């Protein structure tokens, strides 16, 4: 069996990976992708700099390649990411105030409309909270347009694609006791209370020695779920790929009914944004690592 098929048998969950369009013609890469995964997330191709390189001119060529590859094979697509402080095109980096706010909202509307009906879940807003103990929003050009920038982005995404689940996605939100986790929790709670459209919380879960696997990870997942949102593990990679840690992450997701899927952030270690840490399930030759066996047997 495979990761995707096993996850599907566990309450209709998915097991996905980040995909780069320029690797789809690498046969080792495509063979593993097509065999093992039933969800994909474009690693960079849907980001603001890729989809709107100059203001008002949209380029969907690379993202469409991934979406078409996935949908032709019955895989789900996670859209990533509509509004984010990073990987903005230069023209947006130089904007502020209502001009930036309107440009961001137009971007959300245009991209979500282009993919309307094709996206399982959108990361509408990515990484909007600060690290450390403040529990504050991250300072960014988008945040400086006003604290309500996140909720207006979610409302625009809902209007453009009413069928997509709308997620807030962040990292270092794995440990229930961290101020950043608590701050995201309070925002989601507030959105649910006020009727701001939000359906899911994405935990990126880039784990390493600095932010290790927390024993309260399952509490984090179940606490978000108790607010009435799905929880998705959206960018999983673990420094050194310890099999036991991968197994724990899978078991924690399976223990929470609203933890609906897991995405690893790449296929082979050599595909990883942190390749030197060998954090993924397949080695550079495409062979299954011990972490793969641990994940498959936990599923």
Rule CB under 6 A: which residues touch ligand XIL? Answer: 43-44, 126, 204, 235, 273
Other CB atoms within a 10 A radius of the CB of residue 44 amount to 17
User: Is the Cβ of residue 126 or residue 220 nearer to ligand XIL in the bound state?
Assistant: 126
User: Is the Cβ of residue 235 or residue 269 nearer to ligand XIL in the bound state?
Assistant: 235
Burial of 20 (0-12, 13-18, 19+ CB in 10 A): middle
User: Is the Cβ of residue 206 or residue 289 nearer to ligand XIL in the bound state?
Assistant: 206
Residue 92 CB, shortest distance to ligand XIL, in Å, is 16
Our answer to whether residue 45 is catalytic in this structure is: no
Give the single-character DSSP code of 6.
H
Residue 204 CB, shortest distance to ligand XIL, in Å, is 6
What is the Cα–Cα distance from 39 to 17, expressed in whole angstroms?
7
- For 235, residues 6+ apart whose C-beta sits below 8 A from its C-beta are 18, 41, 169, 171, 202, 204, 205, 206, 263, 264, 265
User: Is the Cβ of residue 49 or residue 64 nearer to ligand XIL in the bound state?
Assistant: 49
- For 176, residues 6+ apart whose C-beta sits below 8 A from its C-beta are 182, 214, 216, 217, 219, 220, 223
Catalytic residue chosen out of the listed positions 45, 52, 127, 235: 235
The whole-angstrom distance between residue 207's C-alpha and the CA centroid of its chain comes to: 14
Residue 273 CB, shortest distance to ligand XIL, in Å, is 3
Residue 142 CB, shortest distance to ligand XIL, in Å, is 15
Catalytic residues: 235
């Amino acid at each position: 069996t495979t990761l995707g098929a096993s996850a599907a048998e566990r309450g209709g969950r998915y097991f996905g990976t980040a995909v780069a369009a320029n690797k789809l013609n690498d046969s080792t890469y495509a063979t593993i992708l097509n065999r093992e995964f039933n969800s994909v997330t474009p690693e960079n191709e849907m980001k603001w700099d890729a989809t709107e390189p100059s203001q008002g001119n949209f380029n969907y060529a690379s993202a469409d390649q991934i979406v078409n590859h996935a949908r032709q094979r019955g895989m789900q697509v996670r859209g990533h990411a509509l509004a984010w402080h990073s990987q903005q095109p230069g023209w947006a980096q130089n904007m502020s105030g209502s001009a930036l706010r309107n440009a961001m909202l137009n971007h959300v509307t245009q991209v979500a409309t282009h993919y309307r009906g094709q996206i399982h879940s959108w990361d509408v807003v990515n990484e909007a909270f600060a690290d450390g103990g403040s529990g504050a929003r991250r300072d960014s050009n988008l945040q400086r347009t006003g604290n309500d920038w996140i909720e207006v982005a979610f409302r625009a995404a809902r209007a453009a694609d009413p069928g997509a689940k709308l997620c807030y996605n962040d990292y270092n939100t794995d440990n229930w006791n961290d101020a950043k986790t608590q701050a995201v929790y309070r925002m989601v709670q507030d959105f649910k209370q006020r009727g701001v459209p939000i359906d899911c919380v994405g935990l990126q879960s880039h784990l390493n020695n600095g932010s290790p696997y927390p024993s309260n990870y399952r509490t984090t997942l179940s606490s978000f779920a108790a607010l009435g949102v799905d929880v998705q593990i959206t960018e999983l990679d673990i420094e050194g790929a310890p099999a036991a840690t991968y197994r724990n992450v899978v078991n924690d997701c399976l223990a929470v009914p609203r933890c609906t899927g897991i995405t690893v952030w790449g296929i082979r270690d050599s595909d990883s944004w942190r390749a030197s840490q060998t954090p993924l399930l397949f080695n550079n030759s495409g062979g299954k690592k011990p972490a793969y066996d641990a994940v498959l047997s936990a599923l």
